[in-house]
């Protein structure tokens, strides 16, 4: 399997995983979060698929603009997340998927001789890292609830997602 096909398989697996988690989510905001992550994986798939044709075009995302609002909605609900506690392993698996994807794209960007390809792979690698940050924050939110929301961690999620 070549690198492009491997990347496509990574994105397909990620999309399927996030869609599956969206179906299991009990809270609408968490469902929305997983659907946004799935949409990003679909977008990554489309970007990488075009590499086969020699087309290197980045497609932007609005996920990182929307996520802070989802966390604010969750915060304002003062919901009980005990039903989500059993999903922490699921979120840990998702973080591992994002780390593997991030590292793969970072490595492939270093190996590429094509500047357009290199730049797009770096952008996707950074997006995968931001997905990891979102999932880590979700896990902390579920573990700590209101205590997390009132800490400095919550106020920095937007900043973390805007890092280049």
Domains defined for the chain, CATH in brackets: 3-162 (1.20.1260)
Mean pLDDT, range 101-105, rounded to an integer: 96
Question: What is the model's pLDDT at position 45?
Answer: 97
Check whether 12 has a pLDDT greater than 90: yes
140-144 own/partner pairs: CB under 8 Å, 24+ apart: 141/71, 141/74, 141/81, 142/81, 142/84, 142/85, 142/87, 142/88, 142/91, 143/85, 143/88
pLDDT digits (tens, 9 = 90+) for 70-85: 877 877 776 666 556 5
Q: Is the pLDDT confidence value at 94 over 60?
A: yes
Between CA 143 and CA 47, with CA 34 as vertex, the angle to 5 degrees is 135
Work out the average pLDDT over 155-161: 63
- How confident is the model over 34-77, as pLDDT tens digits? 999 999 999 999 999 999 999 999 999 998 888 888 877 877 77
Q: What is the pLDDT of residue 66?
A: 85
pLDDT band at 159 (very low <50, low <70, confident <90, very high): low
Query: What rounded mean pLDDT belongs to the chain?
Result: 85
How much is the average pLDDT of 125-144? 88
DSSP class of 55:
-
pLDDT at 146 over 50: no
Q: Please, what sign has the CA dihedral across residues 104, 44, 85, 133?
A: positive
DSSP per-residue string spanning 76-114:
HHT---GGGGGGHHHHHHHHHHHHHHHHHHHHHHHH---
CA–CA separation, 49 and 56 (whole Å):
10
What is the end-to-end Cα distance of the chain in Å, rounded? 31
The answer, yes or no, to whether residue 116 has pLDDT greater than 90, is: yes
Of 20-29, 31-40, 42-51, 140-149, the poorest mean pLDDT is in 140-149
């Amino acid at each position: 399997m070549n690198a492009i096909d491997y990347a496509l398989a990574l994105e397909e697996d990620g999309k399927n995983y996030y869609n599956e988690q969206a179906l299991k989510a009990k809270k609408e905001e968490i469902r929305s979060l997983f659907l946004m992550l799935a949409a990003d994986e679909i977008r990554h798939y489309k970007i990488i698929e075009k590499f086969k044709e020699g087309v290197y075009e980045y497609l932007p995302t609005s996920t990182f603009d929307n996520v802070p609002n989802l966390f604010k909605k969750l915060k304002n609900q003062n919901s009980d997340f005990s039903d989500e506690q059993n999903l922490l392993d699921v979120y840990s698996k998702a973080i591992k998927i994002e780390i593997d994807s991030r590292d793969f794209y970072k490595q492939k960007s270093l190996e590429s001789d094509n500047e357009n390809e290199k730049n797009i792979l770096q952008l996707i690698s950074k997006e995968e890292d931001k997905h990891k940050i979102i999932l880590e924050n979700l896990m902390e939110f579920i573990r700590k609830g209101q205590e997390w929301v009132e800490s400095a961690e919550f106020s920095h999620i937007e900043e973390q997602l805007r890092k280049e």
